Amino acid sequence: MNPAVPNRWFDRARLRRQAAELLKYYSPDYFSAKQRFLAACNRVGLAHQSLPIHAPSPNSEPLTIDIAVAGSEKPTLALVVSSGVHGIEGFFGSAVQLAFLEQLAPDWQPPEGAALVFLHALNPYGFAWQRRFNEDNVDLN
Ligand SMILES: [Zn+2]
């Protein structure tokens, strides 16, 4: 082992614990990911909107793109954090969004004039059916 590199980079037990901690943000399917995202948005008081898409769902629940915004309604600066443009990647992107939201203080706001925008599941059909493409078999990027 290179003595110039701190041992903490090679502490497998520590890395295993950290990975296990992060796994809690992953959801087993689109529907639970959406519910957890919305609950996290509600907890921190983010305004939220659901845009339904007209595509077959694997169950009776509608497929939606969910949008949550914090901060200015007319921002001069905005950070957009999207997930699931390729449906199957929604598991990871949703986990990142959930981890971010769950670590925010309940009264957190972006700096004056700025906004933080979350786009959850840009391809809800692909997320729900666990495929890259959308309901028209289109790769969205
Ligand atoms: Zn992708």
The pLDDT tens digits for 40-70 are 999 999 989 999 999 999 999 999 999 999 9
Ligand 1 centroid distance, CA of 139 (Å): 9
7 within a domain of the structure (yes/no): no
16 within a domain of the structure (yes/no): no
Task: Specify the pLDDT at position 11.
Answer: 85
**Over 60: is that where the pLDDT of 1 sits?**
no
62 within a domain of the structure (yes/no): yes
- ∠ at Cα 41 (139, 21), nearest 5°? 80
54 within a domain of the structure (yes/no): yes
Ligand 1 centroid distance, CA of 113 (Å): 30
Ligand 1 centroid distance, CA of 130 (Å): 13
Ligand 1 centroid distance, CA of 48 (Å): 24
15 within a domain of the structure (yes/no): no
Ligand 1 centroid distance, CA of 8 (Å): 32
Question: How many whole angstroms separate alpha carbon 112 and alpha carbon 1?
Answer: 48
Ligand 1 centroid distance, CA of 7 (Å): 34
Residue type, 76: T
Ligand 1 centroid distance, CA of 90 (Å): 9
* Count of CA atoms in the C-beta half-sphere (13 A) of 94: 33
Domain count, the chain: 1
58 within a domain of the structure (yes/no): yes
2 within a domain of the structure (yes/no): no
Domain of residue 82 covers 33-129
CATH of the domain at 76: 3.40.630.10
CA 30 to chain centre: 11
26 within a domain of the structure (yes/no): no
pTM: 0.88
Task: Specify the pLDDT at position 6.
Answer: 65
| Residues, beta carbon < 5 Å, ion ligand 1 | 86, 89
